[in-house]
Amino acid sequence: MGSSSALDPDTLPHPASHPLAVRLHPPAERAVRDGHPWVFETGIRSVELTGRTGDQGQSEENGRPGAGDTAVIFDRKDRFLAVGLFDPTSPIRIRVLNHGEPAQVGAELFRNRLTQALRRRASLSDDSQTTGYRVVHGEGDGLPGLVLDRYGDQAVFKLYSPIWLPHLREVVPAARDLLRSSTVLGLVSRNLADERLCPAPLRRGAVLSGKNATGPFPFLESDLRFEAHPVEGHKTGFYLDQRDNRRRLEPRARGARVLNVFSYTGGFSLYAARGGAREVISVDQSGPALRQAERHFELNVQAARDTRHRTMEGDAFHIMRELAAGGERFGVVVVDPPSFAKEASQIDGALEAYARLTILALAVLEPGGLLVQASCSSRVSADDFFGRVHRAVADGGRSLVDQHRTGHPVDHPATFPEGHYLKCLFARIE
Ligand code: SAH
């Protein structure tokens, strides 16, 4: 269990009282006009500080723009284009909050965005069997660079950009009141943790409001009992984005031996078990994740009563090769690796890694078995991913019959090209 401290958002710097006036180069201007939420450093022609003495808000003494300052973007003819938040630390220099018309950056705007986000997720917030889901998915919910996940009556913010630091004093109470959260925890992305301006407590996860609790946070997903460990875990402690794919797997696991590769804390494993899998093997390189998978089985004894579960810790590629060599065969293989392409230069390598995993999965699949393979690399397009998996199968002299190609669930809306990261294939091997 990680030790976290409290951070009173009121101690954070105030946003600057005067906005920045920003002008762009033509391609960036076109992108913003088309609704893109990012303005890159290279797209910026000029940044003007309006009416500042230089001692307000995040702005440094020398009057430079600070993280989270409001940026009002104008076109070449000085017509209003968009309003966003300025980030001096990132190549994504501005994240747009509102396109096409001015908006006052502050509590009311944030509350409206949260309300809209909850409305969009009515199918989840009305479902008493699913109490863990994403409430805010950054750009997809008009709060760029900000994530808010709900685990029962606890809430976890994750900041992917320092633009949110001066606005937490308004965002946190709005979220707490709307979600009626007993605890609001704050986390930051790895990049942000390395920034000088990140308050020290947030680097390790800090309580922003309410009860001093840092997890585990219990919740239900489709009436299965899980626990999120926000501080030690990945993302905010659970891969909420795979819920629909796990649901799709459940009825297809009856009577099968299931191999869940890159299992993390066993999300797919539990659904397979409830679906009546004879045996489930969870494979991951992380010991703590596998121990949590075992804990999830203990929490769901009744749902998993027909299933023998075991874990294998180590490198997935190596373990799959060993299983194949040992003659082990499975009716279902789930392959859900981490993002292999963080940069454009890694796309080809990522596609090759997906292909290798497909070939390894084929080697342990029974004839007629089900392959469930996912990619969470936003740089790899859905067409390239599905195409590469099919080609790998064809190269092995086999064929694959697609059952489903899935994308983003309702609580992870993808509204711009770079936002589309998740794709998953359900296919039978012939
Ligand atoms: N399917 C999971 C999420 C998987 S995230 C779920 O539904 O919750 C990716 C997982 O891959 C992480 O748990 C990470 O520990 C694991 N991982 C990364 N590289 C690995 C490797 N080479 N071998 C085995 N596991 C690996």
Ligand 1 centre from 292 Cα, in Å? 13
pLDDT for res 10: 87
Closest-CA residue, ligand 1 atom 16, reads 262
Is the pLDDT at 388 greater than 50? The verdict is: yes
Provide the β-strand partners of residue 208: none
pLDDT of residue 230: 97
Q: Where are the domains of the chain?
A: 20-99, 107-215, 239-429
Mean pLDDT of the 76-85 span: 95
CA 58 to ligand 1 centroid distance, Å: 38
Does residue 412 carry a pLDDT above 70? yes
Band (53; pLDDT cuts 50, 70, 90): low
DSSP 38-105: EEEGGGEEEEEE-S--S-STT--TT----TT-EEEEE-TTS-EEEEEEE-TTSSEEEEEEEESS----
Question: What is the reported pLDDT for 62?
Answer: 53
CATH code 3.30.750.80 for 107-215: yes
Query: Cα of 80 to ligand 1 centre, how many Å?
Result: 45
Q: Which of the four pLDDT bands, split at 50, 70 and 90, describes residue 215?
A: confident
Residue 35 phi/psi, 5-degree rounding, is 100, 10
Helices (H), 204-250: 243-249
- Second CATH level (architecture) for the domain 239-429: 3-Layer(aba) Sandwich (3.40)
pLDDT of residue 227: 98
**Ligand 1 — pocket residues by CB below 6 A?**
239, 242, 262-265, 267-268, 284-286, 289, 315-316, 336-338
Nearest C-alpha to atom 18 of ligand 1 is from which residue?
Answer: 338
Least confident span in 11-20, 185-194, 344-353, 408-417:
11-20
Tens digits of residue pLDDT in 97-110 = 999 999 999 999 99
Q: Give the pLDDT band (50/70/90) at residue 15.
A: confident
Ligand 1 centroid to Cα of residue 338, in Å, is 6
- What is the per-residue pLDDT for 52? 61
Tens of pLDDT, residue by residue over 134-164, are 999 999 999 999 999 999 999 999 999 999 9
Residue-level pLDDT at 125 = 94
Decide: residue 129, CB within 10 A, 0-12 exposed, 13-18 middle, 19+ buried. Answer: exposed
Residue 91 burial (CB count, 10 A): 9
Taking CA atoms only, the protein residue closest to ligand 1 atom 3 is 264
The residue from 207, 376, 392, 424 that is catalytic is 376
**d(C-alpha 425, C-alpha 333), whole Å:** 11
**Count of CA atoms in the C-beta half-sphere (13 A) of 368:** 3
How many other β-carbons are positioned within 10 Å of the β-carbon of residue 346? 16
- Percent of the chain at pLDDT above 70? 97
- Residue ranges with strand state E in 263-413: 279-284, 308-313, 330-335, 365-375, 400-406
Our mutation pick for probing the ligand 1 site, out of 261, 285, 360, counting the most ligand atoms within 8 A of Cβ, is 285
| pLDDT greater than 50 at residue 237 | yes
In the predicted model, what is the mean pLDDT of the chain?
A: 95
Confidence category of residue 59, pLDDT binned at 50, 70, 90: very low
pLDDT in tens, 274-303: 999 999 999 999 999 999 999 999 999 999
Residue 43 in this model has a pLDDT that exceeds 90 = yes
- CATH code that applies to domain 20-99: 2.30.130.10
Active site residue 376: yes
In 3D space, the residue among 290, 288, 270 whose CA is nearest the CA of residue 280 turns out to be 270
389-399 mean pLDDT:
95
